[in-house]
Amino acid sequence: MSISSEFKEFALKGNVMDLAVGVIIGAAFGKIVDSLVGDIIMPLIGKVIGSVDFTNLFVPLADIPAGNAGTFAALKAAGVPMLAYGNFLTIVINFIILAFVIFMLVKQMNKMKRAEPAPAPAPTPEDVVLLREIRDSLKK
């Protein structure tokens, strides 16, 4: 079997196509979770703890140049090294939400698999039923 035919067989198997669809849907779902965390959850958390924008939570690791605004974007543009823990917190919360949603999806899929009823046993053939009736009548 040539390499090209082996690759064609591999690429056209159902599992590979399912994986490709899963990756595409996962990437789109990741963007939804990013938006949820960045646009809804983090501003609420920032409001509660007093810092409105988590991206501006950082520790500069060098002197801040004179005349600089002191924001994350301005310092990054100036090339000042920073420990940006606010961005890290946002990504951690993003991961926790995504992991929880995936856990719930897998849990529901497993529940649906278990919920399928067992196939009904095949009906007893008529000759077997007849033989049982004869056996039972002879026992009397």
Give pLDDT tens digits for 5-32.
887 777 777 677 778 888 898 888 888 8
Residue 115 has pLDDT above 70, yes or no: no
What is the overall mean pLDDT for the chain? Answer: 83
Topology (CATH level 3) of domain 3-52+84-139 = 1.10.1200
Tell me how crowded residue 89 is: count the other CB atoms within 10 A of its CB.
14
Backbone angles phi, psi at 70, to 5 degrees: 80, 10
Residue pair 57/89 in contact by the 8 Å Cβ criterion: yes
**What is the rounded distance in angstroms from the CA atom of residue 42 to the CA atom of residue 78?**
26
Prediction pTM value = 0.55
**Domain spans in the chain, listed from the N-terminal domain onward:** 3-52+84-139
